[in-house]
A and B are shown apart, each in its own frame.
Chain A
């Protein structure tokens, strides 16, 4: 049916009649859009209904279109997003740092307010007059030559004292050029009042009149106060704010240079004092300034000082965002992220949840960008602060629609085609989406009529954003969703889907209740067994990426390279760094005409110092810090006035003018000017100031002058003040910064930790994306009301035990089980037949009559074929008739459904071998005639392990003559006690092992018994120990028994073959049988205690495993011990657990893993006894452990199954099982894991953690869990299920049933 409508659908998106989906629905009722009640429209529809139907149909077609052509639509959408975002390139980048723009002084005019046409490189903020012109006067003063009679205070007292005369000079300077008399008073920026909150600065900063800032402000610009100040440094320091100060301080403001460059300290090495007199001018007058400059130069000539004087820098300040403003902003963003988190959390039932969440966020974000871009395109420049309104825009636009879309699409029937699902989901929600959008538009429209400009602008953005968001939802998100759904369909080929049959149609109408699970369907797949070769290829993609990153250390290398580049850039751009040095080198070389100049960056050649005739007419834009001066000035040094430096070279302070002095204000905080102006309530936000070229002044003071200006108390300072008093403030600051950094680091770590806990919870490494925490609840066995599907894998029930099964042992072909009643049964794992019953003594006596009957039945089956072949008489009578079809049925259709319908015949085929006389043990001649039975058994036993057709062939080839067998059945009494060995029926079997055809059973009274698995006869018994045997290991010819008292006994099984029977090994039928190893029924088997380790452990041994010639024991005393099997010597005692050992795994490859009560899993190297890895994975005991070649699988009491990478110890993922599940585990192949559950076993794909199939063991799963699970060689598993055993075959074929 689907095939026939496919062409129909593919052409459906073309504009056709509007009732296209309706017709489709009629053809295919399952695809009915949920508003199905309109499919049969009433004769008169209201306008609303008609509109609704039209919208639904349009959305349906649109969904088909999107799902049919995903790639072109996504390309188209991306192109339109890019096109709409293109105007955003013109917007300035966000950032709060000041932007600079350099013009030349000579032809400077105040820029006009109106934007001019040929702006060129002129930034758009460069309009109108600046807030102020800053004219710095940089003073460098030194007392020279330095005299040894001078005290440290002299370094700065007299130089600072000169500031007053300089100020006087500046204030009194008058320029008169005929057009008028100008003075500083007329030009400077008049300030009125300090902010009321700045009382403490009232005395320091000028409160009225000209804004003229200098160090003299500390003393109210009065020389008398300065002269009478006993401690200058204290005066300076007392205005410093306490605590950390990162921005502009008062000291920075007044000195105009950074603190460490002032030289005002008692311990200054250079003995040069630097400070700035900052004039803030309200208007620009070039002539006045140049005359002032000339005047100052004339008064205080700076020899050889040729600083650049022809460029002024305009600095534009962005709006400042204070910390206090950030807090509400951060709060809104936190709310926004919470909103996004809570919204996207609801996306479910898709292939890639995070991918869709990302697509949703991308949809919203790009719709915002599109709205801003479109508004910019149409001339609406955004005046709102983008960062502030952004969260509200997102909230208004919202993520609801995409979530509703997703939910609607995933709730469509999964068996539909992808595009039908998309179309149907879209049309389901079309009405609500349209209605919602109309409502929002209305609300926004109302908001537009509030006539508040900001709100209007916001509404405009929101409208455009809404429309573009709708566009993106319809095109981008729907297409992404269709791709995702399609991926899920593909991925589901490996996944079993729950049963769907009988699922009612979804409730029509847009108001459909939530239906989380898609309609399930019967399992269409059987299990594939991965070949091991594909194992490594099938790691999840995410893990592969992570492993790749980890392996190649890509991130680390990127960071290293980035750091190196960054350091290089820093070193190059540092004013005192490489670049200056290079420039100096080059400028030295260039007069020589060397070719080295050719390699210069071009801008050095056209440096603004030498403006060429063809240079820029007006200005050059400079955003970088001022390019280091490439002028050929190696080091302009001005020597002191007073004579030659002579012998006192170190005593003469050198005043040097370097390139860094040219724009000394750059070294200040970028908040310097805003904070200075903010004191007078002048904001610089979105405005600019112009900084004029600096006026350099060099002052040289004589020692005599310094001594004259000295304050009487200056000499009281100890000449060399202790280093501590000087360095203490700096050090304190350093400590504070360090402490702050430490605190910040700790906070960061805590934050990251919290983030980690939030994001990863405690299931790190599990595949949270698509198949992470797969719960048992997802299985159809509960909650949804579906009956468990009739699965392809049907278990074979092995009934017979009367009580719960306690021990299970298998060697691959035979399976021995022991129930609480002490009955041991041996089963053929191929067919599920019960071969032997080793009953409890008393029971056997009491039910002897039943036994006889059963034995007859067995005999009939077993002897039937030879008898038929030999044409003998049939002894079994009616019982045989009844059972005649049994072997045939078993071979052809081993379906348990049939099996269940028939009377349970398993008891009838029980081979009660123990009632046979163990004649071979008597070693006496047969009583009447030759006993062929012994020969038969010997021949059979020679060919262990038996072939798959064991049961069928066992009695057949050489069975003795029927009379003889009948004799053994009928006439011989139950086995006479074999001399020294008496079967013990009173004590329970605590441990059991099966090797060859010998069953080793350890009993609670300390007895070790060896039974013949086929004949059911007791071969030998050992009563050396009295403490109960809790665990047994049977390897080669050794048996290791762990006893309750913590001792470990090593037994050796000796086989003495009677010589007289050797010639009979090789009967004619032997060639049909596979080679068999060890024990012949004729052998005399003895079991001797070779060694007993009395105190193997301090506490009872809980686990005992043997493989590869090693015996490993785990005990309650937290240790694991490794013994060598041959000489039973203890090799290692492995310590590392902090709880009792509960699970141990060892295999032929010497892999040893142990799990303990502390939830830890340790991997050990058996050869060296060292611990390879140690991981914690469970809350509670580790209940079982299995290893494959690549991973370790553990299950714990917390019902969690964890899969670990064996080499790295990383948890790959975990599977949460339902509470009370059995902890049994088994690995069938490298990629197939089987776990036991409540009445079922589940198969998992180990590579992905996907649940492949769940097999239910019985119809009545009344909470019985699978406690033990044994994996047999032929890909079958056996598990105990109450008093029954279940044999589950795992087919190795994948076939998709569809």
Chain B
């Protein structure tokens, strides 16, 4: 079973490696291209049923992560916007999709990439993540992530530095509570950095702008949000990678060790 999983991981990694080099603007295109390539590979591989199984597994995981990313993007965007919500129920849908159309797909793609990268890096480092591997913990992690967003959107802070510091502390707490792995931390930092740079580029190019920019034309709490988002999505991705969705024989789970609490 671990061997099978490693296969899954290595497979996911192999398909992910080349996409790392793409810059953010081409993500969608590269993602679609790569999906197509995977699909064609699968179709052309007449001999390897196992191979196709793995690819299908990978695609399924990617789709799940993509959906999660889209939903989270929509909901969190709504959370940010809801101060200006009017009372007319007709406008709910308009509010829901008030942001640019490309934001949810981008977030979904990013979620898929990050969520597939995490188990891949884990397997490369040779230390499969075992800390709190269960869905309840993942749900808790998502809830905390939404809570952090909620706090950033709704609470009144004295100044932006306070807000940023608080969010940074919360993000670190999230990582400590649910991840505690070096690779997770590094990848989270990387995600935050990359995403902030991309946002910065977008803002520089005038694609959009923030209402109250406070740090180089963007909001200073963005890296914290990106970091915690990366950790959360990585958590989901790892959990998904643990479940081998082999067709026919589902539910060959990892047996998580009983005591999740007392890890040290």
Contacts and interface: CB of A to CB of B under 8 A. Distances in A.
A552 interface: no
A1037 B17 CA distance: 82
A247 B88 contact: yes
Interface magnitude class on chain B:
35 or more
Contacts of B78: 324, 327-328
B169 A342 contact: no
Contacts of B256: 514
A395 interface: yes
A674 B71 CA distance: 31
Interface stretch (A291-299, A444-452, A845-853): A444-452
A436 interface: yes
A398 B85 CA distance: 32
B173 A322 contact: no
Interface in A221-259: 241, 243-247
Interface string B228-264: 0000000000000000000000000001111111100
A400 B260 contact: yes
A407 B92 contact: no
Given A336-B143, A339-B136, A395-B143, A328 B261 contact: no
B150 interface: yes
A431 B79 CA distance: 40
B139 A338 contact: yes
Given A443-B173, A451-B162, A510-B262, A325 B85 contact: yes
Nearest to A411: B258
Interface stretch (B44-52, B59-67, B151-159, B211-219): B151-159
B2 interface: no
Given A328-B78, A346-B134, A455-B166, A514 B262 contact: no
B22 interface: no
Interface string A306-338: 000000000000001011110110011001101
Contact of A407 (B76, B147, B255, B258): B258
Interface in A386-406: 388, 391-392, 395, 398-401, 404
Contacts of B257: 513-514
Nearest to B88: A247
Interface string B81-110: 110011111101001100000000000000
A73 B214 CA distance: 56
Q: Is the interface of A mostly helix, strand, loop or mixed?
A: helix
Interface string A417-442: 00000000000010111011000000
Nearest to A674: B87
Query: Of B75, B143, B158, B256, which is in contact with the most chain A CB atoms at under 10 Å from its CB?
Result: B143
A407 B85 CA distance: 47
B259 A324 contact: no
A342 B143 contact: no
Nearest to A511: B259
Contacts of B87: 247, 320, 322, 671, 674-675, 678
A1119 to B, nearest CB: 36
A343 interface: yes
A244 B90 contact: yes
A197 interface: yes
Interface residues of A, number: 59
A512 interface: yes
A451 B144 CA distance: 20
A388 B162 CA distance: 22
A377 interface: no
B135 interface: yes
A454 interface: yes
B262 A339 contact: no
Contact of A328 (B75, B169, B262): B75
B136 A325 contact: no
B144 A395 contact: yes
B139 A432 contact: no
Contacts of A674: 87
Given A322-B87, A678-B87, A328 B150 contact: yes
Contacts of A435: 262
Contact of A431 (B92, B134, B262): B262
Nearest to B84: A197
Contacts of A431: 262
Interface string A363-401: 000000000000000000000000010011001001111
B146 interface: yes
Contacts of B158: 451-452
B111 to A, nearest CB: 15
Contact of A324 (B95, B147, B165): B95
Contacts of B169: 446-447, 450
B259 A432 contact: yes
B165 to A, nearest CB: 8
B20 interface: no
B97 to A, nearest CB: 11
A715 to B, nearest CB: 38
A404 B261 contact: yes
Contact of B143 (A332, A407, A511, A513): A332
5 contacts: A322-B89, A323-B92, A332-B147, A411-B258, A675-B87
The 8 closest A-B pairs by CB, nearest first: A514-B258, A432-B262, A339-B139, A342-B136, A342-B135, A323-B92, A343-B136, A395-B143
